Amino acid sequence: MKNKRENWGDDDVWPLLERAGADFFAKDGRDRNLLHLAAQGKRWVEDFKMLVGKGLDPMEQDLKQMNSLDVAAACGNDEVLGLFDRERKEMVEGPKRRQLLEKDWDDDDADDI
Protein backbone atom coordinates (compact mmCIF):
# COMPACT_ATOMS: atom_id res chain seq x y z
CA MET A 1 0.00 0.00 0.00
CA LYS A 2 1.33 3.39 -0.95
CA ASN A 3 1.91 6.08 1.62
CA LYS A 4 -0.88 8.66 1.35
CA ARG A 5 1.78 11.36 0.88
CA GLU A 6 3.01 9.59 -2.27
CA ASN A 7 -0.45 9.84 -3.79
CA TRP A 8 -0.44 13.61 -3.58
CA GLY A 9 1.13 15.67 -6.30
CA ASP A 10 3.53 18.16 -4.71
CA ASP A 11 2.34 20.75 -7.18
CA ASP A 12 -1.23 20.28 -5.93
CA VAL A 13 -0.94 20.00 -2.15
CA TRP A 14 0.81 23.18 -1.05
CA PRO A 15 -1.28 25.59 -3.17
CA LEU A 16 -4.42 23.79 -1.98
CA LEU A 17 -3.39 24.21 1.65
CA GLU A 18 -2.44 27.82 1.07
CA ARG A 19 -5.79 28.59 -0.56
CA ALA A 20 -7.53 26.91 2.37
CA GLY A 21 -5.73 29.31 4.73
CA ALA A 22 -3.20 26.88 6.24
CA ASP A 23 -0.73 28.50 8.58
CA PHE A 24 2.68 27.26 7.47
CA PHE A 25 4.22 28.92 10.54
CA ALA A 26 2.09 26.95 13.02
CA LYS A 27 3.83 24.95 15.74
CA ASP A 28 2.85 21.86 17.67
CA GLY A 29 2.85 21.44 21.46
CA ARG A 30 6.60 20.83 21.41
CA ASP A 31 7.25 24.07 19.49
CA ARG A 32 8.16 22.19 16.29
CA ASN A 33 7.26 23.69 12.93
CA LEU A 34 6.77 22.10 9.51
CA LEU A 35 10.50 22.22 8.83
CA HIS A 36 11.11 19.93 11.79
CA LEU A 37 8.71 17.46 10.18
CA ALA A 38 10.05 17.84 6.63
CA ALA A 39 13.64 17.41 7.86
CA GLN A 40 12.80 13.88 9.04
CA GLY A 41 12.12 12.40 5.62
CA LYS A 42 14.31 12.29 2.53
CA ARG A 43 11.24 12.33 0.32
CA TRP A 44 10.34 15.80 1.63
CA VAL A 45 13.43 17.72 0.49
CA GLU A 46 11.48 19.73 -2.09
CA ASP A 47 8.86 20.53 0.54
CA PHE A 48 11.63 21.63 2.92
CA LYS A 49 13.01 23.99 0.25
CA MET A 50 9.55 25.38 -0.47
CA LEU A 51 8.88 26.04 3.22
CA VAL A 52 12.20 27.84 3.63
CA GLY A 53 11.26 29.85 0.55
CA LYS A 54 8.02 30.84 2.29
CA GLY A 55 10.05 32.25 5.16
CA LEU A 56 10.30 29.46 7.73
CA ASP A 57 13.60 29.61 9.58
CA PRO A 58 15.56 26.34 9.54
CA MET A 59 17.45 27.51 12.63
CA GLU A 60 14.28 27.96 14.72
CA GLN A 61 14.46 25.72 17.78
CA ASP A 62 11.84 23.53 19.41
CA LEU A 63 11.46 22.98 23.16
CA LYS A 64 14.47 20.64 23.14
CA GLN A 65 16.58 23.38 21.48
CA MET A 66 16.72 21.38 18.25
CA ASN A 67 16.41 23.14 14.93
CA SER A 68 15.37 21.43 11.70
CA LEU A 69 19.00 20.82 10.72
CA ASP A 70 19.56 19.02 14.02
CA VAL A 71 16.53 16.87 13.19
CA ALA A 72 17.87 16.19 9.68
CA ALA A 73 21.24 15.16 11.14
CA ALA A 74 19.60 12.91 13.75
CA CYS A 75 17.51 11.23 11.02
CA GLY A 76 20.44 10.85 8.63
CA ASN A 77 18.78 13.14 6.10
CA ASP A 78 21.84 14.06 4.06
CA GLU A 79 19.65 15.55 1.33
CA VAL A 80 18.39 18.35 3.61
CA LEU A 81 21.85 18.83 5.14
CA GLY A 82 23.27 18.94 1.62
CA LEU A 83 21.09 21.94 0.78
CA PHE A 84 23.01 23.92 3.35
CA ASP A 85 26.37 22.45 2.40
CA ARG A 86 25.87 23.64 -1.18
CA GLU A 87 24.76 27.07 -0.01
CA ARG A 88 27.71 27.36 2.36
CA LYS A 89 30.08 26.12 -0.34
CA GLU A 90 28.70 28.68 -2.78
CA MET A 91 29.24 31.42 -0.21
CA VAL A 92 32.80 30.27 0.49
CA GLU A 93 33.91 29.13 -2.95
CA GLY A 94 31.33 30.57 -5.34
CA PRO A 95 31.52 33.31 -7.97
CA LYS A 96 30.47 36.08 -5.55
CA ARG A 97 33.51 35.38 -3.37
CA ARG A 98 35.76 35.23 -6.42
CA GLN A 99 34.37 38.57 -7.60
CA LEU A 100 35.11 40.12 -4.22
CA LEU A 101 38.62 38.67 -4.10
CA GLU A 102 39.47 39.66 -7.66
CA LYS A 103 38.05 43.17 -7.38
CA ASP A 104 40.60 45.96 -7.44
CA TRP A 105 39.60 47.72 -4.24
CA ASP A 106 40.02 51.39 -3.55
CA ASP A 107 38.74 53.53 -0.68
CA ASP A 108 35.53 54.42 -2.50
CA ASP A 109 34.56 50.74 -2.78
CA ALA A 110 34.36 50.26 0.98
CA ASP A 111 30.81 51.62 0.93
CA ASP A 112 29.76 48.80 -1.43
CA ILE A 113 30.13 46.11 1.23
The full set of domains in the chain, from first to last, is: 4-106 (1.25.40.20)
What is the structure's pLDDT at 62? 95
What is the structure's pLDDT at 37? 94
Say what angle helices 45-53 and 10-19 make with each other, to 10 degrees: 40
Tell me the average confidence (pLDDT) per consecutive run of 10 residues in the chain, 113 residues long. 48 85 95 95 89 92 94 92 70 52 50 45
What is the structure's pLDDT at 31? 96
What is the structure's pLDDT at 111? 47
What is the structure's pLDDT at 113? 43
What is the structure's pLDDT at 58? 92
What is the structure's pLDDT at 8? 45
What is the structure's pLDDT at 84? 83
Nearest to 52 by CA among 65, 33, 66: 33
Please tell me the distance from the alpha carbon of residue 89 to that of residue 78, in angstroms, as a whole number: 15
pTM above 0.75, yes or no: no
